[in-house]
């Protein structure tokens, strides 16, 4: 048992040293060895997560930070680092949730505000980013990175506002110029022309383009189709038997048939 404790301490110190030297893969291997022996240590998962974070294994880092949170959910650093890793893979809203939780646990952490402001800036929510950078500066007035970020965003917003105002003015001026150049439309030009007769309606290729013209055009077409479908002469019994698909219009006689024709003619159902 004592030998195991000694081995764990040695390997743990070796992992810390390798991390300091930049040997992140070696540090990860050492932390993994220790975790296999002492799996309920939140700091081991956290430290291995940091090493994975350094080699941009963000999924692996998120896993280790989550394991650390399961063991000790009251440590703000665990949430803070997991939020940063989540942000790296594009889940910014979830990252903000973790960073907010970290600030609830440690409300005086200037780095926590800076990190959340950084994520807000990444999603172009500049107002909230400026607010967080400002909070970081209240806690630590010498926080140069927060001050630089804040000044940059304030300048950016000012330039954007000026650009929008300039564009709006230019559009208004262009509209005014176009209005001045627009020719006056006389009353006579705006009045409708003489209605077309049936022949002109048939010849005109654009007669169905306007709403009114299209209605008239369809009405005239419908009138002509009715005329074409009227029967010419009542069919005799043989013709009626041979004729398939008798339409409603074909059954309408021009004149009333005589009694004899009525007797000869088979019933034609509509």
pLDDT digits (tens, 9 = 90+) for 30-53: 999 999 999 999 999 999 999 999
Q: Are 45 and 64 in contact (CB under 8 A)?
A: yes
- At residue 193, the pLDDT reads 54
Q: Are residues 14 and 100 in the same domain?
A: yes
Instruction: Please give the tally of structural domains in the chain.
Output: 3
The reply to whether 253 falls in a domain is no
The reply to whether 90 falls in a domain is yes
Q: Are 254 and 231 in contact (CB under 8 A)?
A: yes
**206 to each of 25, 88, 194, 257, how far by Cα in Å?**
77, 60, 15, 45
**Mean pLDDT (the chain, rounded):** 76
The reply to whether 75 falls in a domain is yes
CA-to-CA distance for 172 and 179, rounded, in angstroms? 11
Q: In what helix (H) or strand (E) does residue 116 lie, and over which residues does it extend?
A: helix 110-122
The reply to whether 235 falls in a domain is no
Phi/psi zone of residue 124: left (φ > 0), alpha (ψ -120 to 50 degrees), beta?
Answer: left
With cut-offs at 50, 70 and 90, classify the pLDDT of residue 235.
very low
The reply to whether 189 falls in a domain is no
CA-to-CA distance for 133 and 150, rounded, in angstroms? 6
């Amino acid at each position: 048992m004592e030998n195991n404790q000694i081995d764990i301490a040695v390997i743990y110190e070796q992992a810390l040293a390798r991390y300091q030297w930049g040997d992140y893969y070696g540090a990860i291997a050492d932390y993994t060895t220790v975790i296999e022996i002492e799996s309920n240590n939140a700091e081991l998962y956290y430290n291995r997560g940091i090493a994975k974070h350094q080699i941009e294994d963000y999924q692996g880092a998120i896993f280790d930070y989550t394991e650390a949170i399961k063991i000790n959910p009251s440590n703000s650093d665990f949430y803070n680092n997991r939020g940063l890793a989540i942000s790296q893979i594009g889940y910014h809203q979830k990252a903000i949730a973790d960073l907010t939780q970290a600030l609830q646990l440690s409300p005086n952490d200037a780095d926590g505000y800076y990190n959340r402001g950084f994520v807000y800036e990444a999603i172009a929510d500049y107002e909230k980013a400026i607010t967080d950078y400002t909070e970081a500066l209240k806690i630590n007035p010498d926080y140069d990175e927060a001050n630089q970020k804040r000044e940059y965003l304030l300048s950016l917003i000012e330039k954007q506002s000026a650009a929008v105002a300039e564009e709006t003015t230019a559009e208004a001026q262009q509209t005014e110029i176009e209005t001045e150049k627009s020719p006056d439309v006389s009353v006579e030009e705006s009045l409708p022309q003489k209605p077309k007769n049936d022949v002109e309606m048939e010849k005109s290729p654009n007669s169905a383009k306007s709403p009114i013209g299209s209605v008239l055009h369809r009405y005239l077409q419908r009138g002509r189709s009715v005329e074409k479908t009227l029967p010419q002469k009542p069919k005799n019994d043989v013709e009626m038997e041979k004729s398939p698909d008798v339409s409603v219009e074909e059954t309408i006689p021009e004149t009333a048939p005589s009694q004899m024709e009525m007797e000869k003619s088979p019933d034609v159902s509509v």
